[in-house]
Amino acid sequence: MTTTSPRSIRLDALAYGGDYNPDQWPESVWAEDARLMVEAGVNLVTLPVFSWPLLEPRPGEYDFAGLDRVIDLLWEHGIRIDLATATATPPAWLVREHPEVLPWNADGVRLEFGSRQSYCPSSPIFREAALRLTRTLAERYGAHPALALWHVSNEYGDHVSRCWCPESARHFRRWLQNRYQTIDGLNAAWGTSCWGQHYLDFEQIEPPRTATGPINPAELVDFERFSSDALLELFQAEIDVLREVTPDIAVTTNFMSMFRELDYWDFADAEDLVTDDAYPDPSDQDAHIAAALNYGLMRSLKDGRPWLLLEQAPSAVSWREVNVPKAPGQMRVGSMQALAHGSDGVLFFQWRQAKFGPEKFHSAMLGHRGERSRTFQETKALGAELKTLAPITGTRVRASVALVADWDSWWGVSEPESLPSVRLDWLREARAWHAAAYALGQPVDVARAAGPYGEHRVLLVPNLYATTTEQAAALTAFVEAGGQLVVGPFSGVVDHREQIHDGGAPGPLRDLLGVEVDEWWPLADGQIRSVAFDTSFATPGETHGVRVWSEWIEVAPRTEVLATYADGDLAGRPAVTRRASGAGAAWYLSAGLDSDGMRAVLAQVFAAADVPVAASIDTDLEVVTRTDGTTDYTFVLNHGRADRSAPPIPGGRDLLTGAPSDSAIALPAFGVAVIAHPAPADPAPARTIESELLQPTRRERP
């Protein structure tokens, strides 16, 4: 990140800091906070996220004295502000005066005040009040030199992502009218001739509240789209005010990683900087693998540009059933992983651990024991290390592989009441496919289904249930230009109206994949099925387990069958296929393969794309390279508790220790090295360096 381009964060270093809630502390504590922040290397603080009732104690009556003082104090210490618009939770006076601001759930029950985010996204009263506060804040602080970034609301969709109240119903109708123009258009798209759902007028439509039985799936998916759009409209309305008053200040809202409820492609388009809140579970030994996919999404939302980790826990959170702390070193390696994947900084929730409220057991940079707390010691040490990593600022991650994420498909396959099986979980599939690529040593970007696909040589499409002809055309062009495309089961099923494509699946992907699905054969719970690989695989004849899903497919003449079902009613029938097209090939996986099977297929795909494959699997060791085109910064991360050793990177130097990397790189438990070395002229060899690093190591967990 630099200060040069219009609307980028105003900061010349990697960002370091966290959420700060000075309202929860007497003012006498603030000076100590500022002093210790400096000691910890903090240069960016997020506030005042939940301070609306203090800033506007009564309608239209403002009190900025406290916020003025805290911002000035921080700025005197050289600390900049990620300034929240404070609209994440309305004050009690607003909801008591206008109870219709409160959201309703699908049962038509109004959700009471007393937690946070207690507003209906479609409420004009809420919107007006929020925009008034936003404008007042922008006018007051827009010229303050400490202002680095606008932080709109907070985690849109956290707690309340959908609302079924009468105001949302009116908004939903307007949204539908805009989409379909006429009620006949809607009737045709929703297929209301089924079950007698025909509408005469948009006024007859309600949001899909709990009904007598299964609800029209087209209506459900439209409600998902609408609900994402309703929050986006609110976000955009605040952005418009901020752009009008402070046109030079960058705007963000913090995302929640792979979050089903909001189409983050659209949200990212609206803002200047992508930021994410990441809470991998320290008790999950594979949490870093899912985190790598989350971070791949964050950097891809703006075409590879650096993003920012805006929240993570220094140790335990407070909202899981069991909140396990991070072991010594675990927070550091997790932070380094975010940097490796393109974040230009690390921030936490939160600075000082709360004394009261629902988050008093949530860890903070400064724990209840103050300076003596382990979290303070560890965050202070990390703050110092971040300064040595300054050269990575603004550099980008190189990746040859991308995974397609499409919210329409995600929403479509998660409607519970009308699918062949509810066991096909979009996110679980995406994670399983990503995990296979990760295990083979490749960082994975994320792409839109219709592209652009950038420099990627492999596209992974775990599921594209809803496929449009435009998407199919873009994917076909990718293959013809030499790409390797891998498509998972239950793809190409419906169009954008949730209607089955003529001739059945895979619809507009039929020619590209060279298959037709005759029928879906989801696995019953407990049913065990396998596929057998043919001679084109490294281990011909090997069988691999099938998870969740299988299909009866028919293959077209030029389609190769690479694996067949080995048992059950589909025994002997094709399971995995490939069809060459132009300079590339399209692979189809009609079954959910187990992790070994996924890796075996992807190893073949990578070989075809000339993407190197790690010789051995060690998922605790991760290697990711950021580059500025001249210098590569290769992060070597040990996510495990056993010592590891990575091969040398000749001509390199560890930015953290200054040690040359000409001999083996020793990594203790949760160890990290960040090797700066000359970038190869051709990007492809950079992948080889990463792959070689992975080869000789194979250690078991202790």
In order, the DSSP letters of 411-447 are HHHT-TTSSS-TT--HHHHHHHHHHHHHHTT--EEEE
Using CB under 6 A, pick the residue from 33, 56, 277, 622 that binds ligand GAL. 277
Give one word for 657, left, alpha or beta, with left for phi > 0 and alpha for psi -120 to 50: alpha
Residue carrying the six token digits 């009468």: 166
* Catalytic option among 56, 155, 271, 385: 155
Q: Quote the CA–CA distance of 497 and 481 in Å, as a whole number.
A: 30
Q: Quote the CA–CA distance of 407 and 432 in Å, as a whole number.
A: 18
Using CB under 6 A, pick the residue from 113, 307, 349, 376 that binds ligand GAL. 349
Which regions of 21-86 does DSSP assign to beta strands (E)?
A: 44-47, 80-84
Give whichever of 21 and 43 is closer to ligand GAL, judged by the CB atom. 21
Token pair in block for residue 347: 């921030």
Determine whether 95 is exposed, middle or buried from the number of CB atoms within 10 Å of its CB (0-12, 13-18, 19+).
buried
Largest CA distance in the chain: 78
Are the C-beta atoms of residues 347 and 14 closer than 8 Å to each other? no
Which residues share a beta bridge with 532?
Answer: 543, 564
311 binds ligand GAL (CB under 6 A): yes
Q: Quote the CA–CA distance of 71 and 583 in Å, as a whole number.
A: 58
* Catalytic option among 311, 385, 429, 622: 311
Cα radius of gyration (the chain): 26
Closest distance of CB 116 from ligand GAL, Å: 8
Are the C-beta atoms of residues 361 and 316 closer than 8 Å to each other? yes
Assess whether 311 carries a catalytic annotation.
Answer: yes
SS3 string, 643-680, reads: CEEECCCCCCEECCCCCECCCCEEECCCCEEEEEEECC
Stretch that binds ligand GAL, among 309-317, 418-426, 445-453, 531-539 (CB under 6 A): 309-317
317 binds ligand GAL (CB under 6 A): yes
Taking the CA atoms of 378, 327, 22 and 275 in sequence, report the sign of the dihedral they define: positive
First vs last Cα of the chain: how many Å apart?
Answer: 40
Closest distance of CB 281 from ligand GAL, Å: 12
Token pair in block for residue 502: 């003529």
Amino acid at 486: V
Residues 222-261 binding ligand GAL (CB under 6 A) are none
Closest distance of CB 607 from ligand GAL, Å: 41
Give whichever of 258 and 313 is closer to ligand GAL, judged by the CB atom. 313
For residue 292, give the 3-state DSSP assignment: helix
Which residues share a beta bridge with 581?
Answer: 584
Encoded one letter per residue, x for contact with ligand GAL by CB under 6 A and - for no contact, window 148-187 reads ------xx--x-----------------------------
Q: Quote the CA–CA distance of 386 and 388 in Å, as a whole number.
A: 5
Give whichever of 82 and 277 is closer to ligand GAL, judged by the CB atom. 277
Give whichever of 297 and 675 is closer to ligand GAL, judged by the CB atom. 297
Give whichever of 255 and 433 is closer to ligand GAL, judged by the CB atom. 255
Give whichever of 167 and 277 is closer to ligand GAL, judged by the CB atom. 277
495 binds ligand GAL (CB under 6 A): no
How many residues are present in the chain?
Answer: 702
For the CA atoms of 611, 617, 623, 624, the dihedral, rounded to the nearest 10 degrees, stands at 40
- Quote the Cα angle for 663-669-674, to 5°: 50
**Nearest alpha carbon to residue 462 among 449, 453, 479:** 449
DSSP-assigned letter for residue 368: T
Closest distance of CB 317 from ligand GAL, Å: 5
Assess whether 155 carries a catalytic annotation.
Answer: yes
Closest distance of CB 361 from ligand GAL, Å: 11
Closest distance of CB 246 from ligand GAL, Å: 23
For residue 347, give the 3-state DSSP assignment: strand
Encoded one letter per residue, x for contact with ligand GAL by CB under 6 A and - for no contact, window 96-135 reads ----------------------------------------
Give whichever of 159 and 174 is closer to ligand GAL, judged by the CB atom. 159
Closest distance of CB 158 from ligand GAL, Å: 5
Token pair in block for residue 699: 């250690």
CB atoms within 10 A of CB 541: 10
* Phi (first) and psi of residue 640, to 5 degrees: -105, 180
How many residues lie near ligand GAL (CB under 6 A)?
11
Stretch that binds ligand GAL, among 221-229, 311-319, 581-589, 628-636 (CB under 6 A): 311-319
Give whichever of 362 and 579 is closer to ligand GAL, judged by the CB atom. 362
Give whichever of 154 and 236 is closer to ligand GAL, judged by the CB atom. 154
Give whichever of 313 and 523 is closer to ligand GAL, judged by the CB atom. 313
CB atoms within 10 A of CB 37: 26
Residue closest to ligand GAL, measured at CB: 349
Give whichever of 277 and 408 is closer to ligand GAL, judged by the CB atom. 277
Q: Quote the CA–CA distance of 228 and 528 in Å, as a whole number.
A: 38
DSSP-assigned letter for residue 623: E
Determine the angle formed by the axes of helices 374-388 and 30-40, rounding to 10 degrees: 50
Closest distance of CB 373 from ligand GAL, Å: 17
Give whichever of 313 and 459 is closer to ligand GAL, judged by the CB atom. 313
**Nearest alpha carbon to residue 292 among 395, 447, 464, 441:** 441
Determine whether 169 is exposed, middle or buried from the number of CB atoms within 10 Å of its CB (0-12, 13-18, 19+).
middle
Using CB under 6 A, pick the residue from 10, 80, 352, 362 that binds ligand GAL. 362
Q: Quote the CA–CA distance of 188 and 306 in Å, as a whole number.
A: 43
**Nearest alpha carbon to residue 205 among 213, 197, 195:** 197
Token pair in block for residue 68: 């003025």
Contacts of residue 356, defined as CB under 8 A and 6 or more positions apart, other chains included, come to 24
Give whichever of 352 and 578 is closer to ligand GAL, judged by the CB atom. 352
Closest distance of CB 79 from ligand GAL, Å: 19
Closest distance of CB 89 from ligand GAL, Å: 10
Active site residues: 155, 311
* Binding positions for ligand GAL, rule: CB under 6 A: 154-155, 158, 277, 279, 311, 313, 317, 349, 359, 362
